[in-house]
Structure 1
């Protein structure tokens, strides 16, 4: 059975032209983790909704997190023993930095620096306004994740012009295969 894929958007959700949304159109079996309020994130509520979505999966899922939800995924890992099949962590927002992230993200501090027990990949842009590349490298190292430096593509969102981001989908497929080979 293929692993369930959970799409976990960040602050503001992912609009119709965001690669996460385009992936869902192309792969209707992917499940979006919905939040009550995408613009005023409540940490406890967001974490509970992610936990419920993971618990509802018939098998360990692969998380596809963007921005603020990379911190959310790390918080979930720090608090739960349930297995994940993999984690694709794209454009993590540096919630510890007032210079990089808006006040709405403060409830997600501090960023957990916990090793993921599944294969994980962090994808970071060299000119992301929400994190600098050395900090993204540090998150990847702490999380035990492979870092993919995507070059200058901003926040790796709809404004980055990635379309349905085939390179990201290839990373997702790689994560699924890695765990199959490991198991």
Structure 2
């Protein structure tokens, strides 16, 4: 029988927000950890990758990552380096860091200096679901579709949900638990392939 997975919450570059669906989800799940806050002004991608790894190392057994926005991009950077047993990842509305973001968000120059660019296009070594919005101000649907294909992810069209954050009316996002259950049920030797890469 497969071991129960622990969910690891990976927030975006704006970090933890009390009313965010990730924060609310973390308060309801029985086996959950959250990546330590990095600070809103911290755009050091390597530091975020190290924070994910530090949290993952403390988890005994397989994990499921639940990432949002820039956190989804951080997971793709982390996936190149880790050897942790990963059952799957939910990558919700990944931001398109390869295109200029709206005013008030980091510039491409700042993202480049922080080590985010180029965004990895390698196939992820674990199952993943990319949940995409049709009207996300931080990424056009077609661009997210292309990312999902390059990562080998299942793409789910959420419709018009903005950036899936409190500013877009989320709050609770009950669909996240369904995606987590889907990933948890997909037990395969993918994590073994990941270990053998290095």
1:162-173 alignment, distance < 5 Å: 162-173=170-181
Instruction: Indicate the SS of the match to 1:122.
Output: strand
Residues 94-118 of structure 1, C-alpha deviations (whole Å, 9 max, x = no match) = 1111245522533211110111122
The alignment status of 1:154 with 2:162, answered yes or no, reads yes
Structure 1 vs Structure 2 CA RMSD: 1.6
Q: For residues 28 and 14 of structure 1, do their structure 2 counterparts lie closer, same or farther at Cα, with a shift above 3 Å needed?
A: farther
Q: Which structure has the greater CA radius of gyration?
A: 2
The alignment status of 1:27 with 2:21, answered yes or no, reads no
Which of 124, 130, 153 in structure 1 is aligned with 2:132? Answer: 124
Which of 84, 89, 92 in structure 1 is aligned with 2:91? Answer: 89
**How many angstroms apart in 1 are the aligned matches of 2:26 and 2:84?**
25
The alignment status of 1:177 with 2:178, answered yes or no, reads no
1:44 corresponds in structure 2 to: 46
**How many angstroms apart in 1 are the aligned matches of 2:57 and 2:135?**
35
Determine if contact 1:54/1:60 at 8 Å carries over to the other structure. no
1:133-148 alignment, distance < 5 Å: 133-148=141-156
Give aligned pairs, total. Answer: 181
Determine if contact 1:68/1:105 at 8 Å carries over to the other structure. no
Q: For residues 36 and 163 of structure 1, do their structure 2 counterparts lie closer, same or farther at Cα, with a shift above 3 Å needed?
A: closer
1:57 corresponds in structure 2 to: 59
Determine if contact 1:77/1:114 at 8 Å carries over to the other structure. no
Q: Using the TM superposition, give the Cα deviation of residue 79 of structure 1 relative to its aligned residue in structure 2, in angstroms.
A: 2.1
Q: Using the TM superposition, give the Cα deviation of residue 176 of structure 1 relative to its aligned residue in structure 2, in angstroms.
A: 0.5
Determine if contact 2:134/2:159 at 8 Å carries over to the other structure. yes
The alignment status of 1:105 with 2:107, answered yes or no, reads no
Residues 35-71 of structure 1, C-alpha deviations (whole Å, 9 max, x = no match) = 3323322112111111111122111211000000111
Q: Using the TM superposition, give the Cα deviation of residue 119 of structure 1 relative to its aligned residue in structure 2, in angstroms.
A: 1.2
Q: Using the TM superposition, give the Cα deviation of residue 82 of structure 1 relative to its aligned residue in structure 2, in angstroms.
A: 3.0
Determine if contact 2:133/2:160 at 8 Å carries over to the other structure. yes
Determine if contact 1:83/1:117 at 8 Å carries over to the other structure. no
TM (normalized to structure 1)?
0.91
